[in-house]
Amino acid sequence: MPETSEKKKVILSAIQPSGTITLGNYLGALRNWVNLQNDYNCIFAVADLHAITVRQDPKQFRQNIYNAYALLLACGIDPEKSPVFIQSHVHTHTELAWILNCFTQFGELSRMTQFKDKSRKYSNNINAGLFTYPTLMAADILLYRADMVPVGADQKQHLELARDIAERFNSIYGNVFKLPEPYISNIGARVMSLQEPTKKMSKSDENVNSWIAVLDKPETIMKKFKRAVTDSEAVVRIGEGKDGINNLIGIMSAVTGKTNDDITAEFEGKGYGDFKTAVAEAVIEELRPIQTKFNEYIANKDYLEEQYRKGAEFALKLSLRTLDKAMNKIGFIAK
């Protein structure tokens, strides 16, 4: 397992084992994570502790964690180059989260947009973890002295809170935490719902035809794209009021590398039926090797266990440096 190099900046990324990783997750984030390994010291995690703010079926939850880990490797994360660990295997996360809770204001947490959204969605289970999980996310980031964290628009507020907490702690105890910066990629595709193309593609959408899972079977992918919402113009081009086609062109461009103009020219005079089929076929081919590798990894639990144990060992060693420093500054007695 590699030691982080001072010459390269550290990037931390984590994904929840929610059961389904979508095409939007892959094109918008995971594919970029693979590329980041060449230029940065990357640390990746399956954020299973974050997932239990919502009730989980134990058997399915355990499988989802395995699936998420295997899928990270299948997408191209190299555990020999970039440590990949399971969050709950590294006790420093919960320990620092409690400390950070004591340096986070109630008002700050109550203003978190995702807390408001999830409280409405899960109104029968508005638990304390749902309220305080931004401090666990802050601990995830600050433990590894991450220079940057890849974030989407929905996570930017949480990164800002992590910086605020770190600044507050540092102002009291000195330079303990590094202030992380957001990493905004210029090449991540923003993939929208196939049924409501003004909304971001999301696995939480009740309409299963609105999103593509990375592990969807080819026939399922084809069926979902054929049902994608378009418009009445029947011309394949980028345009105002053509949200459905704009989205499909964006997906086609992301998986083939073709420009919007290339795609428009290729499908000039052709109908939406032909275009939807072509987009589906391109996505199927993009995901095929990932699905093949995933099936190989998930069938080899011994290998997965070897890698996540190595990842946890690395993560614990690195994160203990930060936790011990923070606890010492506060005044705790060393073990």
Residues 284 and 221: their CA atoms lie apart, in Å, by: 7
Closest to 312 in 3D by CA, of 50, 79, 84, 140:
84
Q: Are strands 41-46 and 10-15 parallel, antiparallel or unpaired?
A: parallel
Does residue 17 contact residue 46 with C-beta atoms inside 8 Å?
Answer: yes
Q: Is 118 a catalytic residue?
A: yes
Q: Tell me if residue 293 is catalytic.
A: no
- Residue 292, burial from CB neighbour count under 10 angstroms (0-12, 13-18, 19+): exposed
Q: 118, 224, 242, 276: which one is catalytic?
A: 118
Q: How far apart are the first and last CA of the chain?
A: 27
Annotated catalytic, 224?
A: no
Q: Which of 200, 224, 242, 276 is an active site residue?
A: 200
Q: Out of 9, 203, 226, 310, which one is annotated catalytic?
A: 203
Distance CA 16, CA 46 (A): 6
Q: How many CB atoms lie within 10 A of CB 290?
A: 20
Rounded CA-CA distance 238/261 in Å is 9
Residue with tokens 């299973």: 48
Burial (Cβ within 10 Å: 0-12, 13-18, ≥19) of residue 106: exposed
Spell 228-243 as b/e; 16+ CB within 10 A means b: bbbeeeebbbeeeebb
**How many residues are there in the chain?**
335
Catalytic residues: 118, 200, 203
